[in-house]
Structure 1
Amino acid sequence: MTTSSPGLIKSGYHHFIGILNKVEGAILIASVLLMATNNIANVIGRVIFNQSLFFAEEVNSILIILVTFAGTSFAARHGSHIRMTAIFDALPKKLQKGLIVIITFVTSACIFTICYFSVKYILWVAPRGQVLPALQIPVYTIYLWVPISLFITGFEYFVAGIKNLFNREIFLASEVTSEEYENVAEI
């Protein structure tokens, strides 16, 4: 039995995306739960013991960065980013198809550009040796998720652009077709 190379690549991609979905989902869930726990503990400490947690603000800042950027790539993969579609929806299907190809590739290029600048920023911050005052964690390590997530987000839009080039359907994201999106939006 022979396996086709494109099928193997597609299968590997879907396996990787499945793992990535689980990892990002776990990061999002854990971060939100940790933020809530941290805030509740800080309030209890302030009200009952008259003493705030000295690290609470720094922990929340780290978690907000994780939630924001893990959420960015997760939302890109599932077509969950906010879109202004009034003009897009009024266009005929052929123009919609052309426009979505342009939108996905331009968005991908913009995000890859921001990713590049985030790497440059980290390389600028890292040698300065700045650490968080309470946790003593190097500041640049907190920002490492930013280029990783931006790269994944840019890749998701690029994949959506490729899917739109080679399929009849309109793909708003790399994993969800427009019909699946409409069904999700109605729920």
Structure 2
Amino acid sequence: MRSTSRLMRSGYEKSIVLVNKLEGAILIISVLIMGCNNVSNVIGRVVFNQSLYFTDELNSILIIFITFAGTSYAARLGSHIRMTAIFDVLPSLYQKVLITLIAFITSICIFAICYFSVEYISWIAPKGKVLPAMQIPVYLTYIWVPVSLFLTGLEYFATGMKNLFSKDMHLSSQITGDGYDNINEL
């Protein structure tokens, strides 16, 4: 029984490492492409008196990737902005209850938004709209949104579960033990 639990945990940790690397790569590549796209557009406009016709659309797609990949990535690291004025003055037991409730409520809200994003994509896909310059179906530019929201919801749910079954308080589900996962060390 113990080895099965260890195998499951090992599989979970490996999958989190893989997702971290994938999201990190998406973030880095998207920012680099956006930078190159903008520089190329400026050079084209200044030197050749001709802008790149697809710059705005490509940047819009990349902003979606960056925003939503960054959301689940930040949730995994416990890096989202927090308002702690009330939290800081509470006794530790109430802090633990509050941080656990916040994680679960945030998870529910994120899953709801994920559901609505899938509904929106399902509504827009049959309309056949395409981006004018790049001729990419509009719904394809939004595919990353529900995927990332689902991952973000899972992260908050995992954080809530970790707080529920751990004696310490945690901002994220991160298992690294590097100080980012334990609120008591902040």
Q: Same fold (TM over 0.5)?
A: yes
Question: 1:77 aligns to what?
Answer: 76
Question: 1:128 aligns to what?
Answer: 127
Matching of residue 5 in structure 1 with residue 4 in structure 2: yes
Stretch moving more, 70-79 or 84-93: 84-93
- 1:1-187 maps to which residues of 2 (within 5 A)? 4-175=3-174, 176-179=181-184, 182=186
Aligned-pair CA distance for 1:4? 2.0
Give the SS at the match of 1:52.
coil
Give the SS at the match of 1:4.
helix
Aligned-pair CA distance for 1:178? 1.6
Q: Distance in 1 between matches of 2:91 and 2:132?
A: 56
**In structure 2, what residue type is equivalent to 1:69?**
F
Aligned-pair CA distance for 1:154? 0.2
Deviations 1:41-62 (A, max 9, x none): 0000000000000000000000
Q: Which runs of 4+ in 1 moved over 3 A?
A: none
Q: Distance in 1 between matches of 2:6 and 2:182?
A: 19
Aligned-pair CA distance for 1:3? 5.5
Aligned-pair CA distance for 1:77? 0.2
| Gap change, CA 1:10 and 1:99, over 3 Å in 2 | same
User: How big is the alpha-carbon RMSD for the aligned residues of Structure 1 and Structure 2?
Assistant: 1.0
Q: Distance in 1 between matches of 2:167 and 2:119?
A: 39
**In structure 2, what residue type is equivalent to 1:91?**
L
TM score, norm. by length of structure 1: 0.94
Deviations 1:93-152 (A, max 9, x none): 100000111100000000000000000000000000000111110000010000000000
Aligned-pair CA distance for 1:179? 4.3
Unaligned runs of 5+ in 1: 183-187
